[in-house]
């Protein structure tokens, strides 16, 4: 009884509910399901953060919702813009610990200067526990996972900026910011469902890519759930010895286990996947490394993204040199592997792959890496 009393005093954040739970919550107030669709649209398609703005709901209903519910929204703490057009956002979470996360908007332009692809790289956790040695987020350690609402908010807020600036919505979303997305499986899948929902942000799941360091159980779960999103594996080394050295997860989930999960994923989804491979000078850029990568790329239909690393302070690994990159790429393409090179973007504002981290006076969080 006492607990029930307390619960009624707490306002329900509607963005903490998925679509089914929102319907259930509103049906508890005696509302028909079309009302729940309307509220869902206000929350995610129109991005409002007050009930007052939900003008197709009656005044009484808005007043009732005001009493028992709320709509939380991330705050933009600050923005930094690179000379190449990349914008890094620092978001303030509604959190007693004052946590913040980063997201990056990477624009591509047509020769006439009009916006082409507008890709957003979102964060899924505050920090990360997987401790990859080249990654600034990994050095922070793990603090907490984001809710699906906090992930969708990053997209929604950046959408508002791109619409204002380019008269165009975001075209692609990659879950490659702070955190290991599949370590926050439920919220990530829920957020992808809201982003691709026609009553939500309405972006095709084919334009959403979720990356992972290789959490095999969750890769299989993602395959079973038929979300339709793309999967990218952060590979970064093509044999166990080198992968162990830079990615501690490989010690328990090695390449043999990854191969099994990837084959299961393809068998269930028939979707090709992507391997992300940061090329480090004289570490993973030899002809033998390229041959090993060719073998991995043949496990299932796939493509390889070679990423030119943005150097991170305190990390011994450095960006590979152009002549080594060219030889590496030649080996891949000669062997029939579809491979592209991704040049670093936003390196003047530390917005590149592996560079996201909150530096202001943060303690170290939990990590797989022993201190």
Catalytic choice (102, 150, 180, 276): 102
Closest CA relative to residue 138, chosen from 81, 180, 167: 180
CA 149 to chain CA centroid, Å, is 13
Q: By CB under 6 A, name the one of 22, 101, 128, 329 that touches ligand SF4.
A: 128
The helix, strand and coil proportions of the chain, stated in percent and rounded to the nearest 5, come to 40, 20, 40
Q: Would you call 353 a catalytic residue per the annotation?
A: yes
Going by C-beta distance under 8 Å and a sequence separation of 6 or more, which residues neighbour residue 322? none
Under rule CB under 6 A, residue 135 binds ligand SF4: yes
Q: Would you call 53 a catalytic residue per the annotation?
A: no
Under rule CB under 6 A, residue 149 binds ligand SF4: no
For ligand SF4, which stretch binds (CB under 6 A), given 29-37, 67-75, 124-132, 292-300? 124-132
What is the torsion angle, in degrees rounded to the nearest 10, for the CA atoms of residue 358, residue 360, residue 366 and residue 371? 110
Smallest distance from ligand SF4 to CB 218, Å: 13
Binding residues for ligand SF4, total number by CB under 6 A: 12
The answer to whether 125 touches 178, Cβ cutoff 8 Å, is: yes
Under rule CB under 6 A, residue 141 binds ligand SF4: no
314-353: contacts with ligand SF4 (CB under 6 A)? none
Site string for ligand SF4, 199-238 (x = CB under 6 A): --------------x--------------------x----
Under rule CB under 6 A, residue 102 binds ligand SF4: no
Residue 13 β-bridge partners: 70
Q: Cα(202)–Cα(196) distance, rounded to whole angstroms?
A: 5
The CA-atom distances, in angstroms, between 85 and each of 122, 154, 206, 280 are 17, 18, 25, 26
Q: By CB under 6 A, name the one of 47, 107, 131, 149 that touches ligand SF4.
A: 131
The answer to whether 257 touches 215, Cβ cutoff 8 Å, is: no
Under rule CB under 6 A, residue 132 binds ligand SF4: yes
Positions marked active-site: 102, 353
**Where do contacts with ligand SF4 occur on this chain (CB under 6 A)?**
128, 130-132, 135, 137-138, 179-180, 213, 234, 354
């Amino acid at each position: 009884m006492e607990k029930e009393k307390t619960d009624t005093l707490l306002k329900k954040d509607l963005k903490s509910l998925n679509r089914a739970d929102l319907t259930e919550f509103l049906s508890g107030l005696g509302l028909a399901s079309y009302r729940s669709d309307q509220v869902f649209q206000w929350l995610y398609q129109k991005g409002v953060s007050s009930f007052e703005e939900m003008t197709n709901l009656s005044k009484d209903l808005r007043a009732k919702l005001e009493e028992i519910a709320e709509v939380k929204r991330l705050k933009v703490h600050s923005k930094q813009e690179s000379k190449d057009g990349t914008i890094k956002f620092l978001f303030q979470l509604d959190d007693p610990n004052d946590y913040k996360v980063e997201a990056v908007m990477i624009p591509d332009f047509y020769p006439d200067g009009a916006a082409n692809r507008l890709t957003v790289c979102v964060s899924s956790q505050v920090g990360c526990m997987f401790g990859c040695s080249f990654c600034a987020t990994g050095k922070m350690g793990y603090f907490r996972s984001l809710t699906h609402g906090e992930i969708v908010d990053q997209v929604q807020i950046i959408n508002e900026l791109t619409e204002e600036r380019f008269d165009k919505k975001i075209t692609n979303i990659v879950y490659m910011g702070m955190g290991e997305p599949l370590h926050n499986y439920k919220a990530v899948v829920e957020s992808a469902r809201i982003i691709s929902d026609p009553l939500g942000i309405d972006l095709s799941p084919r334009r959403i890519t979720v990356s992972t360091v290789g959490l095999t159980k969750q890769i299989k779960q993602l395959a079973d759930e038929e979300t339709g999103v793309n999967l990218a594996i952060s590979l970064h080394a093509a044999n166990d010895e080198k992968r162990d050295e830079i990615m501690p997860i490989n010690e328990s989930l090695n390449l043999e286990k990854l191969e099994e999960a990837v084959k299961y994923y393809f068998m269930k989804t028939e979707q090709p996947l992507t391997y992300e491979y940061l090329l480090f000078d004289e570490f993973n850029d030899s002809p033998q490394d390229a041959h090993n990568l060719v073998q991995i790329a043949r496990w299932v239909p796939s493509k390889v993204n070679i990423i030119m690393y943005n150097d991170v302070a305190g990390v011994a690994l450095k960006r590979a040199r152009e002549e080594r990159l060219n030889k590496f790429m030649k080996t891949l393409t000669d062997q029939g592997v579809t491979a592209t090179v991704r040049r670093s973007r936003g390196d003047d504002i530390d917005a590149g792959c592996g560079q996201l981290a909150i530096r202001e006076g943060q303690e170290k969080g939990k990590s797989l890496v022993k201190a």
